[in-house]
């Protein structure tokens, strides 16, 4: 009796373990069947459109249609050729960063509101510069000390990329020699 009970428990464990495998095989088979059916439908539709397309696009109508497609593709390229840039030039961004950095460091006599406005404008320009140079930044997502650390990290990466947005007048006097 104990042997039959143990055999029944083992069979139950094997059955429970086999259920996920059986479901997996069923899903794979079903997915493969759907893929085959989809290929059959695509081939049938392709043959049908080819037969219809040969009749419709033969002769002058087909030639006009091809010329119209070529003309449309040329118009799209011409539109792309004359598109306006969406952001200011990097030289302008660097000049804005230099100006805002000077204002940011010399605001001791200004109000907290003024400092916050200049700091936000500075962060915005840092984000634009990072976007143009392909540098990842998270200035818009952080606050407090994390934002200050991210600002320092971004400034270092921009300087390493060759963007000179600090001039000598923005450094404290004890740093200048």
Q: Is the dihedral of CA 87, 88, 94, 98 positive or negative?
A: negative
- What letter does residue 141 receive in the DSSP assignment? T
Alpha helices in the chain (DSSP H): 2-56, 59-81, 90-105, 112-133, 144-160
Q: If we measure between CA atoms, which residue out of 164, 136, 139, 167 comes closest to residue 151?
A: 139
Are 96 and 169 within one domain?
yes
Q: Which of 50, 81, 112 is the last residue of a domain?
A: 81
Sign of CA dihedral 94, 97, 99, 105: negative
Domain end, chosen from 58, 81, 104, is at 81
Q: In this structure, are 65 and 20 located in the same domain?
A: yes
Q: Do 23 and 95 share a domain, yes or no?
A: no
**Domain limits at 107?**
90-175
pLDDT tens for the chain, 177 residues long, are 888 888 888 988 888 888 888 888 888 888 888 888 888 888 887 777 666 655 555 555 566 666 777 777 666 555 555 556 677 888 888 898 898 888 887 766 678 888 888 889 999 999 999 988 888 999 888 888 999 899 999 999 989 888 876 665 545 544 444
């Amino acid at each position: 009796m104990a042997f039959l009970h143990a055999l029944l428990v083992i069979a139950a464990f094997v059955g429970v373990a086999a259920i996920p495998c059986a479901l997996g095989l069923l899903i794979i088979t079903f997915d493969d069947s759907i893929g085959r059916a989809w290929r059959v439908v695509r081939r049938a539709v392709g043959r049908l459109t080819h037969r219809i397309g040969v009749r419709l696009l033969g002769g002058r109508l087909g030639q006009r249609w091809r010329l119209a497609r070529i003309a449309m593709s040329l118009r799209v390229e011409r539109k792309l050729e004359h598109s306006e840039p969406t952001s200011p030039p990097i030289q302008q961004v660097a000049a804005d960063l230099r100006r805002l950095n000077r204002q940011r460091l010399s605001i001791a006599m200004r109000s907290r509101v003024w400092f916050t406005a200049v700091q936000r404008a500075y962060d915005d320009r840092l984000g634009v510069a990072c976007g143009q140079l392909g540098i990842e930044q998270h200035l818009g997502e952080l606050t407090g000390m994390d934002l200050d650390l991210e600002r320092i990290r971004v400034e270092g990466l921009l300087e390493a990329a060759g963007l000179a947005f600090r001039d000598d007048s923005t450094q404290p006097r004890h740093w200048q020699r």
